[in-house]
Structure 1
Amino acid sequence: MPHKKNFLLNQLSPDLLSRIALSLVVGPLPQGEVLAETHARINKVYFPHSGIISCVVETVGGGAIETGMIGNDGVFGAAQALDDKVSLNHVVMQVPGEASVIASDQLREIADETPAFRGLLLKYEQFFLAQVQQTAACNALHSVQARTCKWLLRMHDLAGAEIPLTQEFLAQMMGVRRTSVTEVAGELQKAGMIVYSRGHIRILDLDMIQQRACECAGDIRSHYRRVFQSNEAGE
């Protein structure tokens, strides 16, 4: 069953997954597709199989900073669907992929009738809040190079070693100037840790990147394991 490519859906019992699968549709999510606008109502819930969803806080002056990533370890839109709320962020596909998609009303109906499913969704929301808090602390305390390496580790966890990414986008996601990202990317490439060209990054030496990263990548993995009591994600 293709839905099992998502970690959360894969945790469900076969009977429950079969029931939910009747309302799920698998579809592509191209890079740059906007899944939600700030303060807009959420009509669909996405369980990614691949790719990365980026949650971004936008400022009045046109700036933006990423607060969290969602990959095949999670879900976007479930918490909003459960409480009939709107999105607090601009949400966009950072890396293309595909997902199992369900209408918000259908998800809320199933979750109301199935405590085990509702509990799983709330567990992920607990983890995502921890990720957002960790990101806020990281942005305030750590150097651009340490944050870049942390960011690359998280990207690797979710998307592998080949990452379609421009320096402009990375700078925006990290809330820094492009010149800062260009300098750091050049240092990492010179050290043989990455290769960057034409909007594409390939990770060459994950161990070296981990050595230069701040502790936040490991903390995010730890948060996930603690919430789900599992070693499957983030390893």
Structure 2
Amino acid sequence: MAADDELPWGMQLELVDLPARAELQSPGVPVSHVHFPVSALVVLLRPTAGGDEVPVALVGHDGVVGVAAFFEAPPEASRAVVLHPGAAWRLAVSALVADGLQSARVIQAVLGHLQVLTSQMAQTALCEKTHSVEPRLCRWLLNAFDRIPDDALALDLGDLTEMLDVPVDALAGAAAQLVAKGALACEPGRLVLLNRAKLLAQTCGCQVMVSNRGM
């Protein structure tokens, strides 16, 4: 959803910078603001029974963080953390409840976003069970690059070991293959997309299925 005058909130939207690792949402805690990322990338993490966290979806300029507030629903179970720093539109929940919930356009967009999130979660679970490290890495990178306006992510391979839950040696080997093929560049603190078509050629069908369900 674009932050323009057609949306019901008008001047109540505030453009803010989101630093890496900023927590926008905590499990079971009501949010005070919803965020519409512009250039930031946010990861949704779900807690496990053992106390760990599992990345389940990415939110960028295609969606919103704090979606439960649109339906005045109980707080979400996931934690939302900024993975790639950037800008986002921020809106107080009080303004959302007062002005936004009657807009059919807003509700349609949010429902579309929920469909994309559901598809992401389902395909991530399937991909982890059925595919090797390289296609999983490619799928994750394409999901990330498709949700930011730039071709560079402020991440390194250490960050991706947490996102994909694979040993760093295996991830480094898969990334080296992508570098050799001219699809990706690995720089200190940055992953740069060089050729999307080459990256797409190495991914699995999960990426295509998720992309075809976008808003």
Contact conserved, 2:24 with 2:82, CA < 8 A, in 1? yes
Larger mean Cα displacement after TM superposition, 119-128 or 53-62: 53-62
Q: TM-score, normalised by structure 1?
A: 0.82
Alignment match of 1:180 (pick from 170, 174, 179): 170
Alignment match of 2:151 (pick from 161, 182, 186): 161
**Pair 1:55–1:80, CA change in 2 (3 A):** same
Computed over aligned residues only, the root mean square deviation of the Cα atoms, in angstroms, reads 2.0
Separation (CA, whole Å) in 1 of partners of 2:161 and 2:194: 21
Unaligned runs of 5+ in 1: 1-7, 229-235
Tell me which amino acid in the other structure corresponds to 2:65: F
Paired position in structure 2 for 1:89: 78
Confirm whether residue 147 of structure 1 aligns to residue 136 of structure 2: yes
Confirm whether residue 9 of structure 1 aligns to residue 2 of structure 2: yes
Contact conserved, 2:68 with 2:76, CA < 8 A, in 1? no
1:29 CA displacement? 0.6
How many pairs does the alignment contain?
214
Q: TM-score, normalised by structure 2?
A: 0.89
Alignment match of 2:67 (pick from 78, 81, 88): 78
The residue correspondences of 1:181-196 to structure 2 (distance < 5 A) are: 181-196=171-186
Higher helix share: 1
The residue correspondences of 1:8-157 to structure 2 (distance < 5 A) are: 8-9=1-2, 14=5, 16-17=6-7, 19-59=8-48, 63-157=52-146
Separation (CA, whole Å) in 1 of partners of 2:44 and 2:83: 9
**Pair 1:136–1:80, CA change in 2 (3 A):** farther
1:157 CA displacement? 1.4
Moved beyond 3 Å, runs of 4+? 58-64
Query: Cα deviations across residues 184-228 of structure 1 (Å, max 9, x unaligned)?
Result: 11222233322213221112222221111011222111011xxx4
1:95 CA displacement? 0.8
Unaligned runs of 5+ in 2: none
Query: Cα deviations across residues 31-90 of structure 1 (Å, max 9, x unaligned)?
Result: 111111222222210011112111122345564332111111111112344233212112
**Pair 1:182–1:63, CA change in 2 (3 A):** farther
SS in structure 1 at match of 2:146: helix
Separation (CA, whole Å) in 2 of partners of 1:21 and 1:179: 49
